[in-house]
Each structure stands twice: as C-alpha cells, then as structure tokens.
Chains A and B, each alone.
Chain A
Amino acid sequence: MFEFTSKEKLFSMVLMAVGIIALVIGFTSAPSSVEDIAHHADGHAYVGDMQFTEGLGGGDGHAEHMLHQMQNRPWAALFHNAFFFLAIGLGALFFLAIQYVANVGWSVVLNRIMEAMGLWLVFPAIVIILVMIAGGMHMHHLWHWMEPGIMDKGSDNYDAIIAGKQAYLNFGFFVFRSLVYVAGWVWAIKLIRKNSLLEDNAADLSIYKKQIRIGAIFTVFFAVTSSMAAWDWIMSIDTHWFSTLFGWYTFAGIFVSALASMALITVYLKSKGYLEEVNENHLHDLGKFTFAFSIFWTYLWFSQYMLIWYSNIPEEVTYYMQRFDEYKAATITAIVLNFLVPFLLILPRESKRNMGLVAMAAIIVLVGHWIDSFVMIMPGTVGPHFGLGWAEVGGFFFFLGFAIYVIFTNLSKAPLIQKNHPVLQESKYFHQ
C-alpha cells in the first residue's frame, strides 16, 4: 500500500495555499474601469495595433476592449490551468480505457496510477464549468460570443458571423453540453475504479469483461466529446475562427500530457521504493508512448499550421498571425519543448530505460504543453496583455498542489497493483 506521507501532504497544501493567495492577488489587481487602466503600470503601453481585435469602432470601444482583456487575465489564467490539469486526468482515463479494450498486457501494473489520475478530472472540470457560468453572468469576457447584443440585429456590436453560430453557441446549450461531457467522463472512471477494486476479490473473468465493455463505451463517447469540448471551450474563444483539425489537435495535447504525467508519477513512486514489479521495461514503454505522441502532436500542429499558412485565407490565417506576432516566443518555445527536446532526448533506447532521463523528458513535455495551451487560450482572451504574473503562476501552483493531493490520496486508498487482473502475469514478466 502506498502511504501519502504528512510531508507530501504538507507540500501539496502549501502549493495550494500559495496558489490561492496569488490567484486572489491576480483577481483583485485587475482593473475595474477604464480610468483604472491608467494606474496600472503593468498595462504596458497598449500596442496600438487594431488589426487583430474584432470589429471595434471608435476610441471608447477601443479602451473598453482593452479593459475587458485586462479583466480577463485572472479568469483566463484560472481557466487555462484548469484545462491543463483536466487534460492529465482525462488523458489517463482514455489510456486506461484503451488498455482494457485492446486487452493490453504490459501495462497492468500501472493501471492503479491511471485510475488515481482519472479520478482527479472531476475537480478541474467543476472549475471549468464555474468559469463558464461566470462568463454567462458577464463577470469576464473569455468567450467573445457571450457578449450581450452580439447576436442581436440592430445592436451596436452586432456581428453577423457570430450570430450565424447562435444555434450552437448559446449559453444554455453550451453549459448543458459541458455537463454531459463531464458527467460521462466521471461516470466512466468511477465505474472502472469500482470494478477494479471489486476484481481484487473476484474469482472469475466477469468483471474483466465488464471493464472491456465500459472501456469500449467510454472510447466512443470520448471520441465525440473530446472534439466537441475542444470546439466549445477553446476554439469558440476565437469565435470567428474555425479549423476541422482542432479537436484532434487538442486531443493530442491532452493525451501526451497524460502520458508524460504518468511516466513522472511512476518514476516518483519507484524512487520512493514502491512498485517493485515495475522495471525499466515498463518505463521503456511509457517513454515510447510519450515520444510517439509528442511526434503525433507535432504532426497535427504542423498539418494545421501548414495548411492554413499555405492557403492564406483571411478568415483562417489571422489565428496564426497573432500567434506568430505577439505570442511568437511562446509559440516557438512550445514547438521546441514538445517536439525537438523529446525527439532528441528519448529517441535512444537507453534513455527511455533511464528513470532520470524519462522524468526530465516528461517535465519538459509538460511545460511545453502548458505553454501550448497558453497559446491556444490567451490570444483570444487577453490579446497583448498576457504575461506570467500572479494569476498564471498562482493558478498553476494551486492546481498542481490540488492534483498532487487528490491523486496521491487516491493512490493511498487501494493496493498499487491489481490482484486478479487476468493478464497481470504478462505485465509482471514483461521484458523487451
């Protein structure tokens, strides 16, 4: 049994506390009115570049738009971190489901880690839904289409293109959809976990077969909802913009973040003397998956970018113009960390069998995907007013501490390795 030591508990709680304080500072220091902006030293001289801001007329609208972006910052930071940490749980759940559906042998000794990670997803999901509701109450402006009047003909800020999306982008349907996604995901992980614990005392294959069925149902559900969630939560931030690949691209980021986290947790547990059955062969496979899906993410990043760049159609290309202008450093850093580093670091067989190197690659990939989701969310919400301030760092610390607390608590509640999984022996005797 894994023991969540008081030292580790304290560490996670300190992270949470520091995170909350920083978040509060982030929220309270956001400007509350246009006049307020002048007092903000960090409102670093507004870039007088209007080409990316959407359809605003005179000077007043201009200042107000800037105010909205600055007010968005703590909300965007909260949302961004919630999404990033949700990815870790959701990706792990998907991986776990696939292990059952495909009758995988090697990974059985890691299943409990995936369960613990999957069970975490409900917490960031709740935060995301709360942020959504706050948006509906106009406490922030993360989703541009939620602006009052934007879909009403005759209103000052009427936008015909956005109005055309009303059947899909309206607050009620939006929140309802998200609730369905989250309910389905939570249902799946709760059930898989319950069966997994029951199986420890079971004598036949009936539970295993049940798990395969749940895994298959979840996989289908996830295939649809992962894309839809990506459109809803992230793509609709840049409301005019659209890309058919966006759902799969977001999935690739979710999945690789989960794989890297899984490798990291495994290495940590090993270093504490747990998981005796896990050896460099299992680590090798985790490394291979992290490597392969880093390449897969890069493939999708390139496909989406290259096709939009090549065709150079105005309604699409503005998305990348902003990302290669104001967000250039972040965009390029994400590619280097998510592609080049894992490619060079864990391509050799020996480095995938080395705990230190796998952990290092995992941390780099996680930082890379934190930056990548930053670049997905920030340009449409805070525009040029982005930064690494109280809210961004606070949000990260808060969720990191929260995730460690929940995942480690889950790990401590059950034996680290399943007892009666029918292919458990394959995993124990696994070598390559």
Chain B
Amino acid sequence: MHYESPVREPLILGDKSYHDITVDVAKPIETTAPKSWWIAISISLVMFLWGVGCILYTIGVGIGTWGLNKTVGWAWDITNFVWWVGIGHAGTLISAVLLLFRQKWRMSINRSAEAMTIFAVIQAALFPGIHMGRIWLAYFVFPIPNTFGSLWVNFNSPLLWDVFAISTYFSVSVVFWYVGLIPDFAMLRDRAVKPVVKHIYSILSFGWGGKAKHWQRFEEVSLILAGLATPLVLSVHTIVSMDFATSVIPGWHTTIFPPYFVAGAIFSGFAMVQTLLIIMRKMFKMEDYITIQHIEMMNIIIMITGSIVGIAYITELFIAWYSGVEYEQYAFLNRATGPYWWAYWSMMTCNVFSPQFMWFKKLRTNLVFTFIISIVVNIGMWFERFVIIVTSLHRDYLPSSWSMFSPTFVDIGIFIGTIGFFFVLFLLYARSFPVIAQAELKTILKSSGENYKKLREKGHGHH
C-alpha cells in the first residue's frame, strides 16, 4: 500500500467508512435542496434572463448597442471572454497537472473544479459568437468547405488558433470529466429508489459494473487524458495571449505574454474554485472532505500564481523603460497614470498585493478572509484584462483618434447575464451530479483518513 509519513495532515476528517463517503456524496442529490440553494438559483436565473435579453437586443439591433468606438473596437466583450477562459483553467490544472504531480488533495475538489471549467468555457465561447454580429453565420469560424466563393478562414490569425484551442480544450475537458463521473453515476444508480431516476443514472453510467477490468481501463484512460490535458492547460491561454501579442500594439506585443497569461489564468481559476467551494462545502455540509487544509493549499497556489503575475507586471514595466522605445514607455506610463489609472491600480492591488496576505497561516486558514480574497482576485483579474485591452487601444499611435471607452447597459447586462448563467449551471450540477469524486476519494481513505491515521499512531504506540 501507499506509505504516508505521519507528518502529513489527514485529507478526510472524522470517523468515516467507505459507506459514509457514499452517503455524504449522494446526500445533496437524494434529499431536497436547502433554502439557500433556492435563493441562489433564483437570483442567478434573474441575472441570466437579463443577460439573455441583452444578447437578443444586441443580435436584433447590432453591435452599435455596445460602447465600442472607432479606436476602442474591443472592450468588455473580449475582456469577459478572456476572463472566463482564464477561470476555466483551474479545473484541468487540478485534475490533470495535480494528478501528474500525485497531489492527493485534488480528489475532493477536482470534480467541481472541472465542472466549473466547462461552465466557464461555455460563457467564454458566447462572446466571440455574439461579437460577430451575425451569429447565424458563426460556423464561418470553422474551416468548412462552402459555396460562398473564396471565403475561407485565415490560418495566419491567432483568432482562428483560438477556435481550435478552445474547442479542443472544451472537448477534452468534457471527456475527462465524464470518464471520472462514470463510477460515481453507477453509485447513484445503485442507490436510486425511483425507477425513472435509476434509469437515467443507468444510462449515464454506461453500464459500469465495477469489475477489475473496468477499473483497470478507467485508470489507463484517466492517465492518458491527463497527459493530453496537461499541454492543453498551457496551450489555451497561450493562444489567447497571442491574440494580443502577435500585434504591433504597445502593451500587447510583449514576449512574456504566453506563460504570464497561463499563470494569470490559473490564478483566477483557483480564486473562482475557492469562491464556489467555500459556498458549496457549507451549503452541502462537505467540511469533512473539503477541509481547511484544502482551502489552505488552494490559497498557497493563489499566492504563488499571484506573485508570478506580479513579477510579470514588473518585468513588463521595467523592460518598457529599458527598451528605450517611446511608444512602449508611453503605453505603460499611460496605464499607471493616464485616465485609466484607477483600473491599473485596482489590478495591482487585487492581483499582486492582496495574495501576499496568504503568507500568514492564520489568514490562509481563515474562511471568511479567504472568501473575500477570492472575490478580490476575481475582480482583479477582470481588471487585468480590461487594462491590457482598453488602455492599450484607447491611445494609439495617432493622438487625433484617442478616445475613451464607457460601457452601455447592454455591455454590463451581458456580463451579468454570463455570471448568472454560470451559476445556474453550477447550481443545477450541484444537485444532480456527485460533487466529489467519491470513487477516487475512497482510494485514499486508509492512507489519509483521520481515523485510520489515528489507528496507525496507536498501533505504533504499542510497539
């Protein structure tokens, strides 16, 4: 069996048996929803419907309903897109990269983090779609043979690479997520009392029988998918960064963008996982599985990635000065002291300074503080994209066309709508899917469960 040093903290608290885990994970699905769930989904639905209205208005009237102008042709739409894609990074990082690094603590959080990834990527994909104006021609983004003459995608454009990167990422994430779900769906199937529910979970679990051969194939597929998903964690935001960095716009064209965007994406993704899980563990009483140690680990990742992002900000500033290029220097001076200074300093405060609190164990194990910081980071990462996109565009090479951007109610409405949509999906998921990968979690009960750890200590005492 896997040996674990006594210095390691338990990952499953309380006196749990395998059956207890089954019962605890199935409970949110088998019981009626708590009141807090109904309140949350009602608010989310209203936000979502408001967003749907604004999207329909945009499609009906046109992009003119947004605050864009001749100079700032990209603003909230692409900011929101990048923000959502970034959030979508934590799921795959947790399930694939942490799997490769043998981080057992991922088992309590990977399922929900992956769900979050999928729901976030759906929000992201909305924005390029509606920004096209004629959404009924959205299939034009794919290189499909057509009869419209010489219209064809541009393979030199990073926007097209984005289409490939994100659709690949989405597909692999869904498959990865689903494969992990199969034994858990089977568990729900076996427990279901109502025939209709039993039938649904039976279809969803693909006839899983829990045979040794099933497990062997399951593990093999998981490992292969982890290997495939790992480069995808890097490639998606790398290519998103190239949407900007291949240009010749000061503030956009900088070589550090690919790894720095990836670090920022992981940063914001973990912040969102933190936000969701702190609510969920309370709502569904999962405190024994998503422990303070789990929260602490995620806070440490937030601190590290936040600091990496901070180093990248400072590197950009320094190199802009060092380059001696007037436009580069002005772009950064304008960011920090120009009309959008407040956005820049919000970004700096939220992303670079606030995670530094996590150096203190007291703070990173404090739930309320963690929750606040997770929201602060989410806000900060939105501002980061806004700063990169709008401040670089609004004062371009031609001072005569300098301008400002201000969002209309439609811009704001669509953004709020995606937040609503995201939470609707997540809340529905939380009531119908096993929110913890219980089959996987059971594999560490004997090595990392609190009761078994205590038993071992006692055993040692007798020698």
**Residue interface mask B436-452, A partner, CB < 8 A = 1:** 00000000000000000
- Determine which residue in A247, A311, A313 has the highest number of CB atoms from chain B within 10 A of its CB, and name it: A311
A303 touches B311 (CB 8 A): no
**Shortest Cβ distance from residue A87 to the other chain B in the assembled complex, whole angstroms:** 19
Question: In the assembly, what is the distance between CA of A429 and CA of B3, in Å?
Answer: 7
**Shortest Cβ distance from residue B259 to the other chain A in the assembled complex, whole angstroms:** 6
**Residue interface mask B80-105, A partner, CB < 8 A = 1:** 00000000000000000000101000
Question: In the assembly, what is the distance between CA of A231 and CA of B323, in Å?
Answer: 12
A244 touches B255 (CB 8 A): yes
**Shortest Cβ distance from residue B388 to the other chain A in the assembled complex, whole angstroms:** 13
**Shortest Cβ distance from residue B65 to the other chain A in the assembled complex, whole angstroms:** 33
Question: In the assembly, what is the distance between CA of A248 and CA of B312, in Å?
Answer: 10
Stretch at the interface among A186-194, A266-274, A328-336, A418-426: A418-426
**Shortest Cβ distance from residue B277 to the other chain A in the assembled complex, whole angstroms:** 22
**Given the complex, which residues of B lie within 8 Å of A161, measured CB to CB?**
324
**Shortest Cβ distance from residue A348 to the other chain B in the assembled complex, whole angstroms:** 12
Known: A299-B234, A423-B5. A164 touches B259 (CB 8 A): no
**Given the complex, which residues of B lie within 8 Å of A308, measured CB to CB?**
255
**Choice from A103, A299, A307, A315 contacting B325 with Cβ under 8 Å:** A315
**Given the complex, which residues of A lie within 8 Å of B245, measured CB to CB?**
307, 311
B324 touches A165 (CB 8 A): yes
**Given the complex, which residues of B lie within 8 Å of A176, measured CB to CB?**
none
Question: In the assembly, what is the distance between CA of A300 and CA of B255, in Å?
Answer: 9
**Given the complex, which residues of A lie within 8 Å of B102, measured CB to CB?**
106, 432
**Shortest Cβ distance from residue B105 to the other chain A in the assembled complex, whole angstroms:** 11
B7 touches A205 (CB 8 A): yes
**Shortest Cβ distance from residue B5 to the other chain A in the assembled complex, whole angstroms:** 4
Question: In the assembly, what is the distance between CA of A22 and CA of B296, in Å?
Answer: 56
The chain B residue sitting closest to A424, CB to CB, is B5
Known: A244-B255, A311-B247. A168 touches B7 (CB 8 A): no
Is A243 on the interface with B (CB-CB < 8 A)? Answer: yes
Known: A164-B324, A303-B238, A311-B247. A243 touches B255 (CB 8 A): yes
The chain B residue sitting closest to A220, CB to CB, is B307
Question: In the assembly, what is the distance between CA of A245 and CA of B256, in Å?
Answer: 4
A244 touches B238 (CB 8 A): no
**Residue interface mask B245-273, A partner, CB < 8 A = 1:** 11110000111111100000000000000
- Determine which residue in B5, B234, B245 has the highest number of CB atoms from chain A within 10 A of its CB, and name it: B5
Question: In the assembly, what is the distance between CA of A306 and CA of B238, in Å?
Answer: 12
Stretch at the interface among B69-77, B136-144, B314-322: B314-322
**Given the complex, which residues of A lie within 8 Å of B20, measured CB to CB?**
none
**Given the complex, which residues of A lie within 8 Å of B324, measured CB to CB?**
160-161, 164-165, 240
A248 touches B259 (CB 8 A): yes
**Shortest Cβ distance from residue B445 to the other chain A in the assembled complex, whole angstroms:** 18
**Shortest Cβ distance from residue A199 to the other chain B in the assembled complex, whole angstroms:** 14
**Residue interface mask A236-260, B partner, CB < 8 A = 1:** 0000101111111000000000000
A307 touches B242 (CB 8 A): yes
Is A46 on the interface with B (CB-CB < 8 A)? Answer: no
Is A351 on the interface with B (CB-CB < 8 A)? Answer: no
B interface, CB within 8 angstroms of A: 3-8, 100, 102, 231, 234, 238, 242, 245-248, 253-259, 307-308, 311-312, 315-316, 319, 322-325
Task: List 21 interface pairs A-B (beta carbons < 8 Å), by A numbering.
Answer: A103-B8, A106-B102, A161-B324, A165-B322, A223-B308, A223-B311, A227-B315, A242-B319, A243-B256, A244-B257, A245-B258, A300-B258, A303-B259, A306-B242, A307-B258, A308-B255, A313-B248, A313-B253, A315-B325, A423-B7, A425-B5
